[in-house]
Amino acid sequence: MGATLAPGAKVTQVAAQADIRPSQIYRWRHDLLAPQRMVPAVVTGQSSEPTSSPVLVIEVRGATVRVMADAPSSLVTAALRAFRQS
């Protein structure tokens, strides 16, 4: 899909090169770029300690989310919705 976002790229040409239908690329774009489904995240290997203490720690399905005091409420809401939907 990244190739379709390059300046001057044509979805039909990229789709033809990948032997898929242009509608599939548009569907992927819709699914992947929809604001309500995108959640910025940082994935780390072993436990890395934040520079300050989190005010909220949520453990769900083996993942740990640490919410810092200065985290924007919109980010926290998006992250929690993503866990709920998965």
- Computed from CA positions of residues 55, 74, 77, 35, in that sequence, does the dihedral angle turn out positive or negative? negative
Q: Are 27 and 20 in contact (CB under 8 A)?
A: no
Q: What pLDDT digit, counting tens, does each position of 42-51 carry? A: 665 555 565 6
Q: Are 39 and 78 in contact (CB under 8 A)?
A: yes
CA dihedral 13, 15, 16, 20 (to 10 degrees): -170
Q: Are 14 and 4 in contact (CB under 8 A)?
A: yes
Structurally, the chain folds into a number of domains equal to 2
- Average of per-residue pLDDT across 63-86: 77
Expressed as residue numbers, the domain containing 77 is 39-86
Q: Same domain, yes or no, for 9 and 29?
A: yes
- Angle at which helix 22-33 crosses helix 11-18, to 10 degrees, equals 110
Q: Same domain, yes or no, for 47 and 85?
A: yes
Q: What pLDDT digit, counting tens, does each position of 5-38 carry? A: 788 889 899 889 888 898 988 888 777 666 555 5
Q: Same domain, yes or no, for 9 and 45?
A: no
